[in-house]
A and B are shown apart, each in its own frame.
Chain A
Amino acid sequence: MARRVSVQTRIGFTVLAWAVALLLFSPILWTLLTAFKTEAEAIATPPTFFPQNFTLENFEAVQDRSDYIKHAWNSIVVSVGSTLLGLIIAIPAAWSMAFAPSKRTKDILMWMLSTKMMPAVGVLIPIYLIFRDLRLLDTVHGLTLIMTLINLPIIVWMLYTYFKEIPVDILEAARMDGAELWNEIVHVLVPMAVPGIASTLLLNVILAWNEAFWTITLTSGRAGTLTAFISSFSSPQGLFLAKLSAASLLAIAPILLLGWFSQKQLVRGLTFGAVK
């Protein structure tokens, strides 16, 4: 951004931009601050900005009431598990689409994208009944399976756009040297594809972590993820704003940090490679 502007203009834009950004960020900031207040202070009029009596009691209360650690563990298992499972299925598919495309490759990719357009409610009831009959309701592996399926199109698409950028000549050269196909994949393709695979992994962990339709409808106590954990705070019970804030903070903090590292991949992943 080497445009020449006057200092005044620059100050003006900077102030405006910070004001808007802080306004957008304020719900998160407010949650962060409230989480360390006592319940009485959290609802005091007029409100305090910084916690006057800094306390960690809300976090203890949340753990005692709803077992944060169990839900967080379920979230980790489901989001990481489903992403890894998805990668195992998607890597070979994306490889063949990128390096041995046929006339139908584009159609298959578009069809995969179209499965994302199917509204989840359209299949909620059969999935619910199948899960009930197979005793998969409220299980971590059942949820992992669903999460793999809903994110598979995005994983294939993202990998495909990354693999497309790997120069095919290098693979050809390895093949000329007599490398077996398996070796070609493990020793040539994978090292060059690792950045793309890592980005895909990151974005899909975030998406699965925040998924809130299937995690809420298919789980209750045992396999509940953090979305289910936080939903248990939806009906107010007495003084609870500080505890809700603590619970919210616990639920979003890990993924917020991951998200900040993955801005670039986010654009590419969520636009199916259409905007880079």
Chain B
Amino acid sequence: MATKQTRALARTMMAPAVIVLFIWMIVPLVMTLWFSFQNYSLINPMMTGFAGWANYVYVIGDPSFTQALVNTLILVGGVLIITIVGGTFLALLLDQPIWGQGILRILVISPFFVMPPVAALIWKNGFMHPGYGMLGHLWKFFGLQPVDWFNQYPLFSVIVIVAWQWLPFATLILLTALQSLSEEQREAAEMDGANAANRFRYIILPHMARAITIVVLIQTIFLLGIFAEIRVTTGGGPGYASTNIAFLVFRTGILSNDIGAGSAGGVVAVIIANIVAIFLMRAVGKNLDA
């Protein structure tokens, strides 16, 4: 029974959070928009004034942009596929009556708590290094030529690292959803003579649909902004082979000191994220309401 007084108070108490988030969202975004139409370089102070669409033409017209866009899609898509399929498999496995379930959960969830630069560096040096990485040793053991992963398959290598970090997240969420499936429902299906494949297709999968949706939604938000893994492994290279949109903006704006072009890239990144968000929200909307 909210009285007028409590309602006013409620608004006051909500105000700080709303105000700081509003400022945080609006001020830098407006500045990015403003810079994106300016000639503004930190190296060349003579370059000033209104640029019109020049920065956008420069950023979008460059072949590196198309490549970064494609790389972003491959990176997000690749990691999503690996983590959803792998996570479903792992969740089903961990849900079986097995010994040591508690310890297994801890082992499986651990990669999620490894900070991105550490994950990237231990994969790069301990595993994927052609000279002394574990994969190199393994290849040599089978008499094969060790692969120089980051030079030959830079984007694929980044995908492997990121997928390793996010697989635990998908597994944990899907396992939580799986365990909320009632035992009666499963047993009923079993008694009706449904085989394992049918039980998965008609009972388990529909039950997990909501959780899968949420995993896709949340991971996409994070995966669009993958940065540290690229920064400490390939530096976006060779060339632009492993540069995504986020890293391209960093390269242009901060490393090359071209504020105008970097900002234009930033605006494009925001637009892409919004398109993805709207698309996702619409696709998952029904699922979430149910």
Interface on A for B, CB 8 Å cutoff?
A: 1-3, 5, 10, 13-14, 16-18, 20-22, 24-28, 30-31, 34, 42-47, 89-90, 92-93, 95-97, 99-100, 102, 108, 112, 114-130, 149, 152-153, 156, 172, 181, 206, 209-210, 212-213, 216-217, 226-227, 230-231, 233-234, 236, 240-241, 244-245, 248, 251-252, 255-256, 258-260, 263, 266-267, 270-271, 274-276
Neighbouring A residues of B249 by C-beta, 8 Å:
121-122, 124-125
Question: How far does the alpha carbon of A253 sit from the alpha carbon of B106 in the complex, in Å?
Answer: 14
How close is A217's CB to chain B, nearest CB, in angstroms?
Answer: 7
Q: Are B98 and A100 in contact (CB under 8 A)?
A: no
Secondary structure call for the B interface: helix
How many whole Å from A79's CB to the nearest CB in chain B? 11
Q: Are A234 and B254 in contact (CB under 8 A)?
A: no
From B108, B125, B249, B274, name the one whose CB has the most chain A CB atoms within 10 angstroms. Answer: B125
Which residue of B7, B13, B96, B173 contacts A275 across the interface (Cβ within 8 Å)?
A: B173
Contacts of B13 in A (CB 8 A): 92-93, 95-96
22 A–B pairs (Cβ distance < 8 Å), ordered by A:
A10-B99, A24-B167, A45-B132, A46-B141, A47-B134, A93-B16, A119-B273, A121-B225, A123-B29, A124-B254, A216-B228, A230-B232, A234-B232, A241-B125, A252-B113, A255-B113, A256-B114, A260-B106, A263-B106, A267-B173, A270-B173, A271-B173
Tell me which residues from 126 to 178 in chain B have a Cβ below 8 Å from any Cβ of chain A. Answer: 126-127, 131-132, 134, 137, 140-141, 164, 167-169, 172-173, 176-177
Chain B neighbourhood of A21, CB < 8 A: 104, 107-108
**B→A interface (CB under 8 Å):** 1-2, 6-7, 9-11, 13-14, 16-18, 20-21, 24-25, 27-29, 31-32, 35, 90, 93-100, 104-119, 121-123, 125-127, 131-132, 134, 137, 140-141, 164, 167-169, 172-173, 176-177, 183, 186, 210-211, 214, 218, 221, 224-225, 227-228, 231-233, 245-246, 249-250, 253-254, 259, 262-263, 265-267, 269-270, 272-274, 277, 288
The distance in angstroms between the C-alpha atoms of A183 and B17, with both chains bound, is 22
Contacts A119-B225, A270-B173 given; 19 further ones with Cβ under 8 A?
A: A3-B97, A14-B100, A24-B111, A27-B126, A43-B131, A47-B132, A99-B10, A100-B6, A117-B221, A119-B272, A123-B266, A124-B266, A125-B253, A125-B254, A210-B116, A227-B116, A259-B113, A263-B106, A263-B109
